[in-house]
Amino acid sequence: EAGVAQSPRYKIIEKRQSVAFWCNPISGHATLYWYQQILGQGPKLLIQFQNNGVVDDSQLPKDRFSAERLKGVDSTLKIQPAKLEDSAVYLCASSLIFPVGGYNEQFFGPGTRLTVL
């Protein structure tokens, strides 16, 4: 079974430039997550989709970050304009839909390492 795919794996940009990351979840996984992981810290949830709808984007800096999952499959995360503090690894994860009180494992992609100069 193919895992979560992400591209690019590495990106270096200058501040104020724009950047976009792509994620293709595991086939059949309706829930998709984007996390930001700053060096030395744990991942922080940015946005969660269920199919093509947003479930939680409370920690997404909406003045510069945007994400979409138009067809309920793959997703893009964009930063415009980038700041130095956006340097981090951006992780995508996916999981099945599950009932209230249940649990489904999140499967993570390898991440995109962003460096903002």
- 47-81: b (≥16 Cβ within 10 Å) or e: bbbeeeeeeebeebeeeebbbebeeebebebebee
Is residue 114 within 8 Å of residue 89, measured between CB atoms?
A: yes
| Cβ-based nearer residue to another protein, 17 or 87 | 87
CB of 31 to another protein, least distance (A): 7
| Cβ-based nearer residue to another protein, 79 or 95 | 95
| Cβ-based nearer residue to another protein, 94 or 116 | 94
For another protein, the binding residues (CB under 8 A) are 4, 31, 40-45, 48, 55-56, 91, 93, 95, 98, 100-111
CB of 94 to another protein, least distance (A): 11
CB of 17 to another protein, least distance (A): 24
Q: Is 102 exposed, middle or buried (0-12, 13-18, 19+ CB in 10 A)?
A: exposed
